[in-house]
């Protein structure tokens, strides 16, 4: 019986993953008011780091205080942020060999909101919210206060923020950086003509709308060690007529590939509440499949990937090089173990858990 492709190694730049299962960044909205990680993050990420996946990516961490989605979002813009992350990483890495990356981003006009379990609506200034920023003065929803259109000086400050956070990520020893240009947050807002109505070098044509993403990639790539991967997550489409779409995503992917991007993670939507999509198993995989036809860098697929056979089919058929799971990993934090058991592969487990191996599955744990 051939070994499952899902459990074959994969290289991103010089980083070798033991398998092709990636744990997606997942916001926890559980930092303190200054953007510092708390004990929750150590428990949450420590649990996921024992799962046997090939890579764990820490939740979207803002490069500026105003870039947080909620007051409980994690930041990597201050010395205190860095110290709190260092404590988490020391604990997690003391018990897991899994590579750990970080997603860097800025929420743009979708910042200054309540946590989802509190309603998720925009916080007023009186409630402790703050003035949001965006490419143009276009609110995400009609009932929200408009964001401030970013000046050229603001854009330069944003680039500096990404660079500074990338340097912090390197000091912390993160193995990888993923830039967040998806889900309607700031970099995605620059890409989409629905949210970007600028008439300068950062708006209008596709070349101009892609400019800030490419400049930030180049700037981060320059300061993060070359052997460590720098990749990106994009939304393949806004699913709104006249918005960002797959054809434009292909052009962005090709431009990033030419610059030495280490991987591209293909998600979708999040920019406009009018989005019309049919959610179902593998519903975003077509983005990865199309982009993989055009680029040399590894491509990661997402989108209701829940079953081992489904994941194996995606990588075996060449639709993508890896799959990323988010909510499925929260529901089943040992998903890679169960996938290995079902597909006839082996997976890493901590020595404290080796006795949990079922008698009928000898060889499941790679000791």
Going by their DSSP bridges, the two strands 299-301 and 264-267 should be labelled as parallel
> Is the per-residue pLDDT at 85 higher than 90?
yes
pLDDT at 353 over 80: yes
Would you say 269 and 239 are in contact if contact means Cβ atoms under 8 Å apart?
Answer: yes
Average pLDDT, stretch 180-205?
Answer: 98
Percentage with pLDDT > 90 across the chain: 95
Q: Average pLDDT, stretch 287-308?
A: 97
Write out pLDDT tens, residues 137-159. 999 999 899 999 999 999 999 99
Q: What is the mean pLDDT of the chain?
A: 97
Helices (H), 94-175: 152-172
Instruction: Identify the architecture of domain 5-361 in CATH.
Output: Alpha-Beta Barrel (3.20)
Contacts of 175 (CB under 8 A, 6+ apart): 15, 55, 99, 100, 101, 228, 229
Residue ranges of the domains in the chain?
Answer: 5-361
> What is the pLDDT averaged over residues 211-231?
98
Residue 104 has phi, psi (to 5 degrees) of: -105, 135
Q: Known catalytic residues?
A: 185
State mean pLDDT over 35-61: 98
pLDDT at 277: 84
Query: Would the pLDDT of 367 be above 90?
Result: no
Contact (CB, 8 A) for 101 and 57? yes
Tell me the CA end-to-end span of the chain in Å, nearest whole number.
21
Please report which confidence band the pLDDT of residue 355 belongs to, taking 50, 70 and 90 as the band edges. Answer: very high
pLDDT at 324 over 90: yes
Q: Decide if pLDDT at 254 tops 60.
A: yes
The burial of 127, by beta-carbon neighbours within 10 Å (0-12 exposed, 13-18 middle, 19 or more buried), is given as exposed
pLDDT attached to residue 1: 52
**Residue 278 confidence (pLDDT):** 83
- Report the share of the chain in percent with pLDDT over 70: 99
């Amino acid at each position: 019986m051939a070994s499952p492709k899902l459990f074959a190694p994969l290289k991103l730049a010089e980083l070798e993953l033991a398998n092709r299962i990636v744990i997606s960044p997942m916001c926890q909205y559980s930092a303190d008011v200054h953007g510092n990680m708390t004990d929750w993050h150590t428990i949450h990420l420590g649990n996921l780091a024992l799962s046997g996946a090939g890579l764990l990516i820490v939740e979207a961490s803002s490069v500026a205080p105003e870039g947080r989605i909620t007051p409980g979002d994690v930041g990597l813009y201050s010395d205190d942020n860095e110290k709190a992350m260092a404590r988490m990483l020391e604990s997690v890495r003391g018990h897991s060999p899994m590579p750990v990356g970080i997603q860097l981003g800025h929420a743009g006009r979708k910042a200054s909101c309540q946590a989802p379990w509190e309603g998720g609506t925009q916080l007023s200034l009186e409630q402790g919210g703050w003035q949001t920023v965006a490419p143009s003065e276009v609110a995400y929803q009609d009932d929200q206060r408009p964001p401030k259109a970013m000046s050229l000086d603001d854009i330069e400050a944003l680039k500096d923020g990404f660079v500074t956070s990338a340097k912090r990520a390197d000091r912390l020893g993160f193995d990888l950086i993923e830039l967040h240009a998806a889900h309607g947050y700031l970099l995605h807002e620059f890409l989409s003509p629905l949210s970007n109505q600028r008439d300068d070098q950062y708006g209008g044509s596709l070349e101009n709308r892609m400019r800030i993403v490419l400049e930030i990639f180049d700037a981060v790539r320059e300061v993060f060690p070359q052997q460590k991967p720098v990749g990106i997550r994009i939304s393949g489409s806004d699913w709104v007529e006249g918005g960002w779409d797959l054809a434009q995503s292909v052009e962005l992917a090709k431009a990033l590939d030419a610059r030495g991007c280490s991987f591209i993670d293909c998600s979708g939507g999040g920019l406009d509440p009018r989005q019309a999509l049919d959610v179902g198993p593998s519903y975003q995989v077509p983005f990865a499949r199309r982009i993989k036809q055009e680029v040399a860098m590894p491509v990661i697929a997402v989108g209701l990937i829940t079953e081992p056979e489904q994941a194996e089919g995606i990588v075996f058929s060449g639709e993508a090089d890896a799959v990323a799971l988010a909510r499925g990993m929260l529901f089943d934090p040992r998903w890679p173990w169960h996938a290995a058991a079902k597909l006839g592969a082996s997976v890493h487990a901590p020595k404290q858990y080796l006795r949990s191996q079922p008698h009928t599955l000898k060889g499941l744990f790679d000791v």
